[in-house]
Amino acid sequence: MTPPPAEAMAAESLTPESLGQAPGRGRLAGRRVLVVGAGTRPLPDDPEPPVGNGRAIALLAAREGAAVACADRDEASAADTAGRIQAQGGRAGVLVADVTDDDACPRLVTGALDFLGGLDGLVLNVGIGAGARLEGTTPELWDQVFAVNVRAHFLVCREAVPRMQEGGSIVFISSVAGITPGSMLPAYDASKAAVAGLCRHVALEGSRRRIRANVVAPGLMDTPIGRAASRGRPSRNRTPVPLGRQGTAWEVAYPTVFLLSDEAGYITGQVLVSDGGLTALR
């Protein structure tokens, strides 16, 4: 069963921020941010598709004053995100890249630098799941998941970190699956745990130039990917989240913008969990 739209979920607990309706506060004024995975691919038969994490992050970063390079392997989806930013008066450009391709990552970072004139922030929002339990996960599926969920992040960071402005910030979008098991996708769980390890190394290298790196780990979110996961595992919708509902993509975007901003200037190498208490209170 498809979960209800975010607007209908426990409406009394959804703030303007939760719904992506709050005005910007200038928290990223003058920043230049590359969002990798800035598109949204909704389910084809979903009449009211929610926004995805990458698009919400790009839109909110722009609303908070950043110029945003919207990167995705799907050009139309990235262009949709950029168009929404521009329609709201923001500055956005489109970059197309498959970040599992070694050769694409240098071009991606160069393209972002050319468009933005520098790079103060980087968000890595790419990930897939494949396989089912140990017996249903082939070595080929394992390698595919790690290529997207970990190797791609390494490749982009390898190119971006040396070229970022001093005092910049990197945010990896991961999952609570890297903290506690439950997805029944061993490659997904293991790769999301690996993201935290990669983040800590990036934070260590980046600290020489005050470049921070942190992880946002969402829980059960009402996004297109979340709805697809629920179709494959309907019990997902019955998970007893302590705050009583699934989250929205905006509740991933706000922690991400916080970590990109100077408000988080003394935070690095950390995992910030946005899951309605799922991992801490259950």
130/124 Cα distance (integer angstroms): 19
Active site residue 188: yes
Tokens standing for residue 130: 């494949």
Tokens standing for residue 215: 């992880």
223/30 Cα distance (integer angstroms): 29
CB 91 within 8 Å of CB 70: no
For residue 169, what are the contacts with CB-CB under 8 A and spacing of at least 6?
A: 120, 121, 122, 211, 212, 213, 214, 259, 260, 261, 264
Q: Which of 249, 254, 198 is nearest to 41 (CA)?
A: 249
130/138 Cα distance (integer angstroms): 9
Catalytic one among 115, 188, 250, 254?
188
Positions marked active-site: 188
